[in-house]
Chains A and B, each alone.
Chain A
Amino acid sequence: EDKVVQSPLSLVVHEGDTVTLNCSYEVTNFRSLLWYKQEKKAPTFLFMLTSSGIEKKSGRLSSILDKKELFSILNITATQTGDSAVYLCAVENRDDKIIFGKGTRLHILP
């Protein structure tokens, strides 16, 4: 059965800290892995990863995929209170299915 597992489920850190969010998956016919930031009802797209070892970066956020070990990490450096959100990892397969993890709830303390 296809599944996406995120860890930790919840994380509380102080502003300025660096955090690493984990996503492991078991999916047949993998196509891509996606990261989203969910603050309200509609998650905001962050990254799409298809190849191993190539880091994607956007400001203080970065992500990398390991297709051999079947996981991805999302790093956030110099965290700010505005980074508080639920971060979702999802995997698309070649059958046009998308499987979401349960998310990591990140809370940044001022």
Chain B
Amino acid sequence: GAVVSQHPSRVICKSGTSVKIECRSLDFQATTMFWYRQFPKQSLMLMATSNEGSKATYEQGVEKDKFLINHASLTLSTLTVTSAHPEDSSFYICSAHQGWDEKLFFGSGTQLSVL
């Protein structure tokens, strides 16, 4: 079955640094991937839709210069949190679907802690 791999699973960084999170579809091509942010006991908040070969579509209120998304191939999307601040500390999750089916497959998430 479809597998989505996300790395790293946890990262701790200093304020002001940039952090890159990778999301890979391992056994299928994903023209579209989604990036979410999750707060404890809450729904996944969609941040942006990553489209292979084109610019990402950001949800309202999400700073595109802060959260850089690159979807350079059909199996890899990256989210870079630039100049991270403590308020960016959160759990970030990616998902992808196979195009012909709306069912989503999720990565295992990245816990970001900014000191």
Contacts and interface: CB of A to CB of B under 8 A. Distances in A.
Interface in A87-110: 88, 90, 95-100, 102-103, 105
A42 B9 contact: no
Interface residues of A, number: 20
Interface string B79-115: 0000000000001010000000011111011010000
A103 B111 contact: no
A42 B37 CA distance: 10
Contacts of B45: 42
A105 B111 CA distance: 28
A86 interface: yes
Nearest to A96: B111
A38 B41 contact: no
Contacts of B60: none
B56 interface: no
Chain B interface residue number, banded: 20 to 34
A43 interface: yes
B43 A42 contact: yes
A13 interface: no
B10 interface: yes
Interface of A: 36, 38, 41-45, 48, 86, 88, 90, 95-100, 102-103, 105
Given A42-B36, A48-B41, 4 more contacts: A86-B104, A88-B104, A97-B109, A105-B103
